[in-house]
Amino acid sequence: MDIERRTFLKATALGGAVGLGLFDLGEARAELRTAKILRTTETRSICPYCAVACGVIIHTIGDKAKNVTPAVSHVEGDPDHPTNRGTLCPKGATLRDDIDNPNRLMVPKVRRPGSDHWEEISWDQAVAGIAKHIKDTRDRTFVAKNARGQTVNRNPGIAMIGGCTDTNEFNWLQMKMMLGLGVLYRDSQARV
């Protein structure tokens, strides 16, 4: 690498200043954080990447006027969250790139039987389609009695798994619903 003499002297002077403690890096970092979250709205959420389910705070900037689209300006670990107490692993620390990613899927899509492409549908259509598949599958596979004639009311044609961002309350609800449908194969990443 070709480093000019002037650049080299600047770099070594800066390194010396840090080494001698002339700059307080902790203070500089705190200033940087303050600047990043100045005038932002905080939203608490959960990192979606793995089962640890760390708490995050998403900072959104915007003046809350109806004609301004809020933009995410910073994402950090939630210090009040019992799982991670403010820390994030490198994956969680890049969450902002995930939120702003142009490839992010924002609407439901369906690939119909025999089709070679995905089609955008509305959320109402997606919910109605899922409900229809559940009803059809349950009607087709429901077992009211076992081979001995004992009542079992089970539904072996459906399985359910919860994601890592599901809260205890959601898991309670989904478990109730699945039990009501007779679904035996179910699990959740119940670490939140």
The residues that touch ligand SF4, with contacts defined as CB under 6 A, are: 47, 49-50, 52-54, 84, 88-89, 91-92
Task: Indicate the residue whose CB is closest to ligand SF4.
Answer: 92
- Complex with ligand SF4: residue 30 or 50, whichever CB lies closer: 50
Angstrom distance (rounded) from CA 127 to CA 113: 18
Shortest CB 188 distance to ligand SF4, Å: 15
Quote the least distance from Cβ 77 to ligand SF4, whole Å: 7
Answer whether 126's CB lies under 8 Å from 110's CB. Answer: yes
Task: Identify which of residues 61 and 89 has a Cβ nearer to ligand SF4 in the complex.
Answer: 89
* Smallest gap from residue 49 Cβ to ligand SF4 (A): 3
Residues with Cβ within 8 Å of 53's Cβ and at least 6 positions away in sequence, in order, are 46, 47, 83, 164, 165, 189, 191, 192
Shortest distance (Å) from residue 93 CB to ligand SF4: 7
Q: Rounded CA gap, 183 and 160, in Å?
A: 8
Residue 136, classed as helix, strand or coil, is helix
